[in-house]
Amino acid sequence: MQRYSRILLITSSLLTGFFNSACSILPAASGFPPSSAYIQRNYQDHIQLSGKLAIHYEKNNQTQNLPANFIWEQNGKDLKVTILSPLGQTLARITDNAQGAMLEQDGKMPVQASDLDQLLATTLRWPLPVSGMRDWLQGSLLQPDGSHRMLNAADQTVEAAGWKIRYASWHTTPVMPKRIDLSRYTTEAGEVSLNIFVEAPETP
């Protein structure tokens, strides 16, 4: 009986040592390198990005799905956004500068207004928060004093301008958002969600 007890004790000790060693060499549970999550980043006033959009909203009590590509060209306060179909056809051009905001759609007269987000919500029938995306695409939140708070590169959810913003994944080189999920409810378009996939900028 004592012999079996000693065998069980030795086996238990060996298994405990094995699992402790295995746990010590396993990667962290997070899918993002911990050291990269806290790299110092700065807000860029001049940036060009591209990526994909998946837009979901409600119309006549039915969910509408709109896939699209986008090109984002930001130069200081001047902004130009081009929305394209998955096949590359230009669907809309959005510009915002000191002269105001303008939306151009294929086959339609250009529409101008002083407020960009209101212009898009009224014309497109679903909200596209371009003003907020100036910060959100860079993993930043605009503060009341006009400064930019850069978020850590981690899976997290924040709220801004009435939107719930989830940073689902990040690029590692350079460190910047890769997938951003936006959601909110509006009386005009019901439950609205935007899935944004940002391509990593080309490095020189």
- Residue 124 — very low, low, confident or very high, per pLDDT cuts 50/70/90? confident
Sequence ranges of the domains in the chain? 2-35, 38-198
Residue 152 has pLDDT above 80, yes or no: yes
Q: How buried is residue 181: exposed, middle or buried, by Cβ count under 10 Å (0-12/13-18/19+)?
A: middle
Residue 11 has pLDDT above 50, yes or no: no
| pLDDT reported for residue 107 | 85
- Residue 144 — very low, low, confident or very high, per pLDDT cuts 50/70/90? very high
| pLDDT reported for residue 138 | 96
Could you tell me the pTM of the whole model? Answer: 0.79
Note if the bond before 174 is cis, omega within 30 degrees: yes
Q: For all residues of the chain together, what is the average pLDDT?
A: 83
Residue 81 has pLDDT above 90, yes or no: yes
How would CATH label the architecture of 38-198? Clam (2.50)
Q: Work out the average pLDDT over 142-160.
A: 95
Cβ neighbours around 86 below 10 Å, total: 9
